[in-house]
Structure 1
Amino acid sequence: MTALALALGLALAAGGPAPLACPPGAAVAGAAYPDGFEQWCEKPDDAGRPQKHGPYRTWYDDGAPQLASTWKMGRLDGPFVEYHRNGKKAREGAWRDGEKDGRWTTWFEDGRPAEEAGYDRGILHGRFATFFAGGGKRVEGRYCHGIQCGRWTTWDEGGRELGRMDHEEIRSEP
């Protein structure tokens, strides 16, 4: 469990959203549930325009958490968790300077994985897999800097292999 998900879970167990802890120079904007559905920290940029900077949270109309993320001067930067209405995670990953970075996972509403993917500065890179709603693998392979590489395998819902394709290995050096 990420620190962001743990903090959000502890806040909810304590009876409601915890106050946002904004970084130095940033102030709370918006309103937490039940007074509002979106709250964030913001800090003026060099031109004096407010930029999201620090934690950002949204809630569903029943007060359940919808999204928790972190911003750095107007760009997503840090852990990101989105929830289904039933409280189970829908998506989780991290942003770095406005781009997906590292492992990202999406889940069906029942909590089973729907997709797992790796990113490097916004580009698919590393293991990639999609799953059927029933839990079985649909596709598995790897990306090398945004291009399919290595062996890719596809299955049907019954778990039978439909095919394999071997792609060239892509390297960043000649």
Structure 2
Amino acid sequence: MSSLQIKHKNNEDILLELSGSTLEEVNLTGADLRNADLNSWILKGAFLARAHMEGAQLKEASLQSASLIEAKLAGADLKEADLSQADLRAADLEGAQLEGANLRGANLSDANLRGANLRNAKLIDTDLTEVDYDDKTVWPDGYENGQLHGVWRGWYPDGQKAVEGRYVHGEKNGLWTAWHRNGQKKRECEYNNSQKHGVWREWDEKGNRLVEGHFENGTKNGVWKYFYPSGKLQRQGEFLNSKEHGHWVTWYEDGQIAGEGNYHEGWKDGVWLNWYSNGVKHREGHYTQGRKDGEWSKWDEEGTLVEKQTFVNGQRTA
């Protein structure tokens, strides 16, 4: 039967011998792996909770989704290691070398990062809640004291810029811009302490404007406009606290009016009118809090009245 030997990084003394040919999902909970040579080892999904790994060599090791809860990793070398989705809650990483490590989606809450080197580490969607750090901790560009800070940029796999904006102590602030894969601008929006606040604009992949409106403290307010890809106005009206409120109008792409009426706190309210694309009236009736109420009339495309109905609280009575 094949076996794997974990050796000391300096003198090659055997620290642990395991049967099998892989360490994926191996259970090494509480194991003594101090100063072990695990460079480039594949430990995907391994159970290493509370393992003693002080001073271990783990450069370029694969530790995706590994359980490293309360693991002792002080002084360990984890340069370029893949720790994506790993569970490092309350792990001791004091003085650890994490330069270039992939920590995407990892959980480092309550971990000790005092004196750790995280230069160029990938911290996308990484949980850094209540981590312990000091003035010797080296953070990646774009971080300050464990929080996103400064200009941030994201790219598509082909190198095309996807997004750019600024964080201030962990919060989105100012103008954020996103691009389609072909380089055309996709969206512009402003933030204040991670809440949408200010002008919001969207474009399609050909650069045609699709949406323009305004947010106040995370809610849609004021006039919003929606456009056809041709640039013609499709729909326009006001929002109040992210609900349609006030007068709204829709148009056909040739500019002919298609419908209009009022909303009250998100409900259609009052008289609503619709027209055929040839300009002839199609329907007319009244809403009360989103329900048809009163007399409703319908015409054909020649302008001849073809139907009359009566509603009470949305129910047809005649």
Same fold (TM over 0.5): yes
SS of equivalent to 1:92: strand
1: CA distance, partners of 2:217 / 2:205: 28
TM-score, with normalisation over the residues of structure 2? 0.41
Q: 2:174 aligns with which of 27, 49, 57?
A: 27
* 2:187–2:201 Cα contact (<8 Å) kept: yes
Indicate the structure (1 or 2) with the bigger Cα radius of gyration.
2
Shift in Å, 1:98: 0.8
TM-score, with normalisation over the residues of structure 1? 0.72
Shift in Å, 1:26: 4.9
* 2:232–2:253 Cα contact (<8 Å) kept: yes
1:103 to 2:252 alignment: no
Q: 2:190 aligns with which of 41, 51, 73?
A: 41
Shift in Å, 1:163: 1.6
1: CA distance, partners of 2:179 / 2:234: 21
Counterpart of 1:29, as a letter, is W
1:65 to 2:209 alignment: yes
Shift in Å, 1:168: 4.9
Shift in Å, 1:67: 1.0
Shift in Å, 1:31: 4.7
* 2:184–2:207 Cα contact (<8 Å) kept: no
Q: 1:156 aligns with which of 274, 283, 300?
A: 300
2: CA distance, partners of 1:138 / 1:26: 47
The C-alpha deviation readout for 1:24-44, integer Å capped at 9, x for no partner, is x95111158976220010112
2: CA distance, partners of 1:60 / 1:150: 41
Shift in Å, 1:150: 2.8
2: CA distance, partners of 1:128 / 1:65: 28
* 1:115–1:131 Cα contact (<8 Å) kept: yes
Corresponding residue number in structure 2 for 1:122? 266
Aligned residues between the structures: 141
Q: Which structure has greater strand proportion?
A: 1
Corresponding residue number in structure 2 for 1:4? none
> Would the alpha carbon gap of residues 32 and 117 (structure 1) be closer, same or farther in structure 2, given more than 3 Å must change?
farther
2: CA distance, partners of 1:100 / 1:32: 28
Counterpart of 2:251, as a letter, is W
The C-alpha deviation readout for 1:77-113, integer Å capped at 9, x for no partner, is 1110011122210000010001000011111111111
- The share of aligned pairs that are identical, in percent, is 27
2: CA distance, partners of 1:133 / 1:52: 37
Corresponding residue number in structure 1 for 2:309? 165
Residues 54-93 of structure 1: pairs in structure 2 closer than 5 A: 54-93=198-237
Corresponding residue number in structure 2 for 1:12? none
SS of equivalent to 1:153: strand
Which consecutive unaligned segments of at least 5 residues does structure 1 have?
A: 1-24, 45-49, 170-174
1:51 to 2:195 alignment: yes
Q: Which structure has greater helix proportion?
A: 1
- State the superposition RMSD in angstroms: 2.4
Shift in Å, 1:61: 2.9
Larger relative contact order (Cα-Cα within 8 Å, sequence gap ≥ 6): 1
2: CA distance, partners of 1:32 / 1:106: 28
